[in-house]
């Protein structure tokens, strides 16, 4: 192995730069040439890459985002192209392969989520040597115990909840916070638990409105004249008034104006008479510096990925299993999505300290 490419695909995530550094430094020490492919698979199709040297990866450990740029529109197999004013989906995977060959690459390290791993599998089938590194703040990849970026997102949520507590308690309000996570409730669960939320609503446990109203009213009666409600963007009520699919929300109730956070706040205010406000945390959860935990995990992932390449262990993805970094086959990594189970220890611990999940009982 002499020449490798590295790319970052999908949404940005704290820790991407730490992985790039974790791959590049040892690779250069081994005498390999490293090419940073720009803007994910888009750069592979369009032939955009630049050689990376030590100076390029020095000082980036703590930086958010990705020095290589990313894109979630660059799927070589489903490439949107404008033809006579209309968007047509075309297959540009052959151009991706051509560039891989023209650059004389022996392997590519692809850092990304579900989408990136699906594309990597298909490119592997075409003959490219690929090693994957799992990334997502949502933590919804089954093959690894944790993805980097999740801890940083949870840190932001936890800090936001600490700040919201101030206004909640001073003004005796219900404060609703909407957090990311797409179809999974990990960010709401872990962030809510760390930030002391009183109610946590997640997609995996469809909630009953009455249970939410009763819980905040009960807190008021007990003299706790505020509540913090942490809502995952994919959370859904049992009554079917709202069908959410990550950030795609179908509205069946005219009360619903914006995202689920706004909807939940409006319903609580109307049905309890309590003063209520909402905050949508949005991309703040993905931005900025990775936590120390994510810096360490990202570095270990990067170093393990380059070791796999050197050992010619291709079509594998690095994964955290317990305290060790192992590797799994990419096809196994993409077959299951990891969702919160109602009997997850974090759910049980939250319930034990009085958190309500929008249900009376499971
Ligand atoms: O998968 C990461 C994530 O941040 C989700 O939590 C969120 O639903 C989505 O990406 C937002 O995507 P975009 O930045 O494309 O709006």
Residue 78, marked binder: no
Ligand 1 atom nearest to CA at 285: 4
pLDDT at 321 over 90: yes
Structure tokens at 268: 């609580």
pLDDT at 161 over 80: yes
Pick the residue whose CA is nearest to atom 9 on ligand 1.
182
Mode of pairing for the β-strands spanning 3-8 and 33-37:
parallel
Residue 114, marked binder: yes
Pick the residue whose CA is nearest to atom 8 on ligand 1.
182
Output b/e per residue, 250-288; b: 16+ Cβ within 10 A: eeeeeebeebbbbbbbbbbbeebebebebbbbeebbbee
pLDDT, tens digit (0-9, with 9 covering 90-100), for 121-156: 999 999 999 999 999 999 999 999 999 999 999 999
The share of the chain scoring above pLDDT 70, in percent, equals: 95
Write down the pTM of the prediction: 0.94
Question: Quick one: average pLDDT of 48-58?
Answer: 98
138 C-beta closer than 6 A to ligand 1: yes
Instruction: Provide the pLDDT for residue 356.
Output: 98
Give the number of other Cβ atoms within 10 Å of residue 53's Cβ: 12
CA dihedral 140, 143, 149, 154 (to 10 degrees): 50
Burial grade of 334 (CB within 10 A; 0-12, 13-18, 19 or more):
buried
137 C-beta closer than 6 A to ligand 1: yes
Q: Where are the beta strands (DSSP E) in 21-85?
A: 33-37, 49-52, 79-83
Task: Tell me the Cα Rg of the chain.
Answer: 22
- In this structure, the chain runs to a length of 362
- Candidates 113, 121, 266, 271; CA nearest to 180 is 113
Instruction: Provide the pLDDT for residue 246.
Output: 56
Residue 283, marked binder: yes
The yes/no answer to whether this complex scores an ipTM above 0.90 is yes
234 C-beta closer than 6 A to ligand 1: no
């Amino acid at each position: 192995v002499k020449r490798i490419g590295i790319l970052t695909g999908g949404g940005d995530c704290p820790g991407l730069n730490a992985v790039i550094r974790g791959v590049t430094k040892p690779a250069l020490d081994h005498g390999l040439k490293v090419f940073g492919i720009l803007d994910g698979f888009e750069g592979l199709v369009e032939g955009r890459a630049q050689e990376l040297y030590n100076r390029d990866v020095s000082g980036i450990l703590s930086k958010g985002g990705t020095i290589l740029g990313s894109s979630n529109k660059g799927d070589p197999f489903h490439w949107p192209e404008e033809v006579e004013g209309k968007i047509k989906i075309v297959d540009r995977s052959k151009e991706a392969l051509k560039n891989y060959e023209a650059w004389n690459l022996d392997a590519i390290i692809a850092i990304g989520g579900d989408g990136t791993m699906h594309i990597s599998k298909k490119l592997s089938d075409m003959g490219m040597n690929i090693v994957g590194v799992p990334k997502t703040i949502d933590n919804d990849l089954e093959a690894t115990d944790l993805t980097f970026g999740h801890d940083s997102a949870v840190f932001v949520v936890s800090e936001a909840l600490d700040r919201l507590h101030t206004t909640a308690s001073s003004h005796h309000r219900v404060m609703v916070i909407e957090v990311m996570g797409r179809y999974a409730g990990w960010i709401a669960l872990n962030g809510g638990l760390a930030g002391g939320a009183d109610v946590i609503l997640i997609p995996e446990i469809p909630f009953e409105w009455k249970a939410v109203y009763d819980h905040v009213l009960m807190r008021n009666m007990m003299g706790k004249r505020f509540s913090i409600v942490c809502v995952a963007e994919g959370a859904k009520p049992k009554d079917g008034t709202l069908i959410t699919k990550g950030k795609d929300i179908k509205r069946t109730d005219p009360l619903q104006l914006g995202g689920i956070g706004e909807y939940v706040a409006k319903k609580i205010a109307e049905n309890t008479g309590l003063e209520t406000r909402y905050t949508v945390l949005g991309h703040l959860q993905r931005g900025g510096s990775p936590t120390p935990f994510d810096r360490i995990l990202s570095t270990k992932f990067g170093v393990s990925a380059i070791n796999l390449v050197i050992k010619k262990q291709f079509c594998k993805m690095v994964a955290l299993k317990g305290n060790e970094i192992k590797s799994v086959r990419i096809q196994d990594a993409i077959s299951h999505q990891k969702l919160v189970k109602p009997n997850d220890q974090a759910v049980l611990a939250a319930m034990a300290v009085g958190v309500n999940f929008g249900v009376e009982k499971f």
